[in-house]
Amino acid sequence: MATDKLTFDDPRVTHNTFTISPTKTYHYILASPPNPRATVLLIHGFPDLAFGWRYQVPHLLSLNLRVIVPDTLGYGRSSAPQDLASYSLKSMSADMIALASHVMGSEKQPLILGGHDWGGALVWRLALWYPSRVAAVFSVCTPYSPPDKAYLSPEQVVARLPNFTYQLQLIGPEVEAGIAGEAATRQFVNGMFGGRTPDGGAVFSTARGVIFDNLDKVGQSPLLSPEEVEVYVREYQKNGMRGPLNWYRTRKINYEEELELVERGRGRIAAPSLFVLATKDNALPPTMSAGMEAHFDRLERREVEATHWALVEAAAEVNGHVGRWLEGVLG
């Protein structure tokens, strides 16, 4: 099926803001059918935006679902607070529940969570922190990993998972300083979304992170139209890269906050869950999800032939898997 996608100012959606505190406002896209049977909250990853779910929103609308899609903390038209603690998964889980409660009001309809990449890591933690609020949860690309019983530094994680080596660069000052302003952001977006240099060079690799020498030679992304690249460039001007990169700087805070879950023996997800694996995602390779079903009561696993950008590259397949799974969940 030809996969319909939203434009940024699509008439089928509204753009809204929700203020949590004086320093924390979220911008979110809302798509509401007349009598929705459930609400889906979609959480994007790095380096993305609410706009990153543009191929999924029309399909979910067609299933008579209301869809809430925020720019997550640090991104787009949402706030990028200075304090690192605001970017912990526990803190952002509370923000997402507050946003969903605000939109759903007193309605007692099911809340379904969907995440991609870092948004996948967040929806798994939301299911742990708010089990009574979450009717079902799906993640594209990001497997579930239970809260750590012992602290592992980023360096120790990389020793175990070499595919995360790029995170050592993202935690540091280089990308925050080097990807600023329209030109560098345009090169970064084209490169992160598959653009290559004339001799086929990449702008990013999991082993090296951002390859700055290739930035000014990168061509057009094969996954985004030039107009879509300009959406990312425009939306990234307000906050820059500090907010997005802060998600990589909260390992210690996440560990300390999540000890509470370990102590209460809450590392298991009871809600109906779906994991959609991307066979060519070299940041989150298939090996990482081995054995994750041990932590679930009801996990469905599917896979799509795609790189990290499965939401775009395999939009119809992702929509098909999520749609069929939702029909089973909603009955």
Ligand X SMILES: O=C(NCCCc1ccccc1)N[C@H]1CC[C@H](OCc2c(F)cccc2F)CC1
- Residues in contact with ligand X by the rule CB under 6 A: 45-46, 117-118, 121, 142-143, 145, 192, 204, 282-283, 288, 307-308
Question: Residue 38 or residue 306: which is nearer to ligand X going by CB?
Answer: 306
Question: Residue 31 or residue 315: which is nearer to ligand X going by CB?
Answer: 315
Q: Is 292 exposed, middle or buried (0-12, 13-18, 19+ CB in 10 A)?
A: buried
Question: Residue 59 or residue 90: which is nearer to ligand X going by CB?
Answer: 90
- Least Cβ distance, residue 102 to ligand X (angstroms): 26
Which residue among 44, 117, 281, 321 is the active-site one?
117
Annotated catalytic residue 117: yes
Q: Which helix (H) or strand (E) holds 92?
A: helix 89-104
- Least Cβ distance, residue 171 to ligand X (angstroms): 11
- Least Cβ distance, residue 143 to ligand X (angstroms): 5
Strands 299-304 and 204-205: unpaired
- The CA-to-CA distance between both ends of the chain, in Å, stands at 24
Which ranges in 150-269 belong to alpha helices (H)?
A: 154-160, 166-171, 174-178, 182-192, 212-215, 226-235, 242-246, 251-263
Q: How far apart are CA 221 and CA 199, in angstroms?
A: 15
- What the block records as the tokens of 323 is 């749609």
Question: Residue 63 or residue 233: which is nearer to ligand X going by CB?
Answer: 233
Burial 236-259 (b: 16+ CB within 10 A, else e): beebbbbbbbbbbbbbebbbebbe
- Least Cβ distance, residue 255 to ligand X (angstroms): 11
Residues designated catalytic: 117, 308
